[in-house]
Amino acid sequence: MSARGRNLLVAAWLLTAAAAHGARARVELSWGRLLFLIATALRIALRTIWHSVRSARPGQGRQVVVRLRGEITASTAGGARRRLSAALAARPPLLEIDLARVTVLTRDGAQVFFDAVRTAHATGIPVVISNAHPQPRATLHALGLDWVVHYSNST
């Protein structure tokens, strides 16, 4: 049990004891155990509901498509890096990188893809490269990214 859970449990117990004392009621040991069990059951139920609500957030469960464009070189890769990082921060079930508008991809610019694929792999997110023209795809192939990404709709 986490420290926060223990603190909430202790707080619930203290509030119950204070209410009982205020009502001048004497709490038997068996009643105290029953209250403890009820508080624990409520905590488990609320925690289960909280996790199910958090996992059903909007945006969760939909793939994210990042559409890159232009030349991706060492000097222009910052924008692509920020967009891919933001997409991965949302923890989508699938990351699609659309390269339909990418005209040139240099070996130095492809470092962005290594970083994104490493982060995606660490969090269990599959990566799909879509609409890659021959030059960007050849660069990705030469760098060995074919082993860790999938391609779709290749032009």
3-state secondary structure of 146: helix
Q: 54-106: per-residue pLDDT in tens?
A: 554 444 557 889 999 999 998 988 889 999 999 999 889 999 999 999 999 99
Please spell the DSSP secondary structure of 75-130, one letter per residue: TTHHHHHHHHHHHHHT--S-EEEEEEEEEEE-TTTTHHHHHHHHHHHHHT--EEEE
pTM value > 0.75: no
Give the residue with greater pLDDT, 103 vs 52.
Answer: 103
Predicted local confidence at residue 147, as pLDDT: 81
- pLDDT class of 30 with cuts at 50, 70, 90: confident
